[in-house]
Amino acid sequence: MSLDSHIESVLWTPDQIAARVSELAAQISADHSPLSEPLVLVGVATGAFLFLADLARSLRLPVTVDFIRAESYGSGTVSSGSPRISSDLKLDVSGRHVVLVEDIVDSGSTIACLIAHLEAKGASSVSVCAFLDKPSRRKVHFQLLSKGKFYRGFECPDYFVVGYGMDFAELYRNLPYVGVLKPEHYK
Ligand code: 5GP
Ligand code: MG
Ligand code: MG
C-alpha cells in the first residue's frame, strides 16, 4: 500500500530538501567553528528524525546527538497549546552550545518550552534549526539568548503538511518529500 495517493500536492521534493539541508549545514558549520567542544544537536522526537539525520551528515563539525520529546498535539492537526516534556535528554548540556532541531515551528509554543528548558539546564547557547516555519500561525514569540540563532529551511504556507518526518496520526513520516494531506484523510 502506498500513501502517495493521500497527498494533494507536493511542496518540497527530495532534491529541493537535500539542497536546502546542505545550505543550512554550511551556515551552521560556519557559525559554530571553531568550537572548543562538540556542538550538541538535540532532535525533537519524533518529527525531526529524518531532518536531523540529513543535517548531521552534512555538518562539518564534531557533534553529539540526543533527543527530547514534547507532547502537545495528540493525533489531531491543532495544537493543544500547552506542551510538556515527556522524555528528557540523556546528555548534560550545561556549558554547551546546543542546536534544537525541529521539524516545524507552528504556534511556537513547543519550541518556546524547549528553549526555556535547555536554558534552565545551563546551555551556553541555544539555537533553533527548524526545517519548516509557519510564521503566519505564531502565537508565542519565543526569544533566543544573545548567541542563539534561528535557522529555518523553508517558510511553510498555512497547510497541514506531512512527510520528511512529519506525521498525521503517526503515518506519512517516511515520505521522502513534504506534501499537503488531502482533507478527507484527516477529517
Ligand atoms: P507548535 O507548538 O509550534 O504549535 O507546533 C509544534 C509541533 O506541532 C511541531 O513540532 C510539529 O510536530 C507539529 N506540527 C505543526 N504544524 C504541523 C503540520 O503542518 N504538520 C504536521 N505533521 N505537524 C505539525
Ligand atoms: Mg515537532
Ligand atoms: Mg505530530
pLDDT in tens, 128-160: 999 999 999 999 998 888 789 999 999 999 999
Task: Out of 7, 8, 67, 73, give the residue to mutate to test ligand 1, the one with the largest number of ligand atoms within 8 Å of its CB.
Answer: 73
Of the bound ligands, which one is closest to the alpha carbon of residue 110? 1
**Domain assignment of residue 35, yes or no:** yes
**Angle, nearest 10°, between helix axes 49-58 and 14-31?**
60
Report how many domains make up the chain: 1
**Domain assignment of residue 72, yes or no:** yes
**Domain assignment of residue 74, yes or no:** yes
What CATH number should be reported for the domain holding residue 104? Answer: 3.40.50.2020
**Domain assignment of residue 149, yes or no:** yes
Task: Out of 102, 103, 137, 181, give the residue to mutate to test ligand 1, the one with the largest number of ligand atoms within 8 Å of its CB.
Answer: 103
**pLDDT tens per residue, range 87-100:** 999 999 999 999 99
**Domain assignment of residue 104, yes or no:** yes
The residue contributing the CA closest to ligand 1 atom 12 is: 47
Is the confidence at residue 101, as pLDDT, over 60? yes
CA of 134, closest atom in ligand 1 = 16
Q: Grade residue 75 by pLDDT with cuts at 50, 70 and 90.
A: low
Find the 46 Cα to ligand 2 centroid distance in Å.
7
- Tell me, what's the ipTM? 0.97
Mean local confidence (pLDDT), 48-60: 98
**Domain assignment of residue 26, yes or no:** yes
The residue contributing the CA closest to ligand 1 atom 2 is: 110
**Domain assignment of residue 171, yes or no:** no
Mean local confidence (pLDDT), 20-29: 98
Active centre residues (catalytic): 106
**Domain assignment of residue 85, yes or no:** yes
The residue contributing the CA closest to ligand 1 atom 9 is: 104
More confident residue, 180 or 78: 180
Burial of 158 (0-12, 13-18, 19+ CB in 10 A): exposed
pLDDT computed for residue 73 by the predictor:
55
Domain range for 117 is 14-158
Q: Is the CB of 73 under 6 A from ligand 1?
A: yes
